[in-house]
A and B are shown apart, each in its own frame.
Chain A
């Protein structure tokens, strides 16, 4: 018992040294429309000057064609395209992937590991942008401080193309 009591503070001290987690949950809403296509979606972390600190995810149609299929429409994710999407060569390992269906989509990231990398302490914004063929476009922003001193559950809600966007931070 005594040994355990001594061990516990040591574990607590060790925790901040362990890799911090950043989990993102994006809700893709069910839409009652005649022609539905899954949205293109980009998620990234912006610094205060709007520069990109990390590209987290890009979902676009993967079907091949002479025109490069989905990549042709990537500029429709306008903010993302301008902020750094156009600098990337698709596909990006661990970042780009196929479009996803209606529902909660969970993404987990870890400090020090791609694609999050080593995020320096500071103020950031998680940005999630969705654009849908023959549909709308929406950007949801969640500001946060990194690293979190204690577990934090942040979020923001979209109004049309995005449902709830949750950001869970673990120190």
Chain B
């Protein structure tokens, strides 16, 4: 038994390391966040990169894309394509109100050795037992839940698409997500499994990092009620991220659950 726990300690360290070293940022950037007119469309870029918002690493995985319309229904993307560095898709905004565009990742990650060769697997919790072959050694299992979101409003903002699902880290707007202005404070609430998530560090970085010499992060910490406030120093597209980890796993082999939430929000000039 002591042997087992030391093995799990090594595993926990191994899992924590990639988190600490995580430099790449996942994002989606819509061509507009406020639209109007008789037949509005937006085009959205999705990628994982170091520089915001320049695709330079891997494209966003559109199999994880969930677009929620103002009435709460799910709508399909149009003209979707995935390139080397970037995925692209269109959203046809046929309803009035706010759309939520999300890349939702909820899965189990496993790493193991088979015949001296290192293997990796990603999938659903239910498939885990079948996925790891007999004879696999040094099996490491972790659970991850992350969400990348952006928002587009056709006409007047609404919150029908913004209802939390009660799973993982989620954002609930207090200030509306498509109604952000430079110099004004914006307040949001973070939920963890549907409950307010206190004491989480939230980082916001404006796009265009390639054209400046520092990330110029702005930071906030969630209060007891899970709320945090950011005051945008200037207009632009902002990458807002929070992450945490806990032991509330849904698979017994995993000791740790890593959670992350990202929103890409547009801030307009006064």
Contact = CB atoms under 8 A, between A and B. Distances in A.
Interface of A: 66-69, 71-75, 78-79, 81-82, 86-87
Contacts of B157: 86
Interface stretch (B32-40, B111-119, B223-231): B32-40
B119 to A, nearest CB: 50
Contact of B38 (A67, A82, A87): A67
Contact of A66 (B36, B38, B155, B270): B38
A81 B34 contact: yes
Contacts of B193: none
A67 B155 contact: no
Interface in B21-38: 32, 34-38
Tell me what chain B mostly uses at the interface: helix, strand, loop, or mixed: loop
Nearest to A87: B156
Contacts of B156: 86-87
Contact of A75 (B36, B39, B269, B270): B36
Nearest to A66: B39
A16 B34 CA distance: 44
A69 B37 CA distance: 7
B179 interface: yes
B39 A68 contact: yes
Given A82-B181, A86-B155, A87-B156, A68 B268 contact: no
A72 B40 contact: yes
Tell me what chain A mostly uses at the interface: helix, strand, loop, or mixed: helix
Q: Which 8 A-B pairs rank lowest in CB-CB distance, beginning with the nearest?
A: A68-B38, A72-B37, A68-B37, A75-B34, A71-B37, A86-B156, A74-B36, A67-B39
B38 A71 contact: yes
Interface string B170-209: 0000000001010000000000000000000000000000
A104 B2 CA distance: 86
A82 B157 CA distance: 10
A68 B40 CA distance: 9
B38 A78 contact: no
Contacts of B181: 82
A139 to B, nearest CB: 8
A125 to B, nearest CB: 14
Nearest to A75: B34
A160 B40 CA distance: 30
Contacts of A82: 179, 181, 268
Contacts of B153: 86
A109 to B, nearest CB: 26
A128 to B, nearest CB: 15
A81 B36 CA distance: 10
B268 A72 contact: no
Given A82-B181, A86-B155, A71 B268 contact: no
Interface in B45-81: none
A78 B269 contact: yes
A142 B124 CA distance: 61
B269 A86 contact: no
A78 B181 CA distance: 10
10 contacts: A66-B38, A66-B39, A67-B40, A68-B36, A68-B37, A71-B36, A71-B37, A81-B36, A86-B155, A86-B156
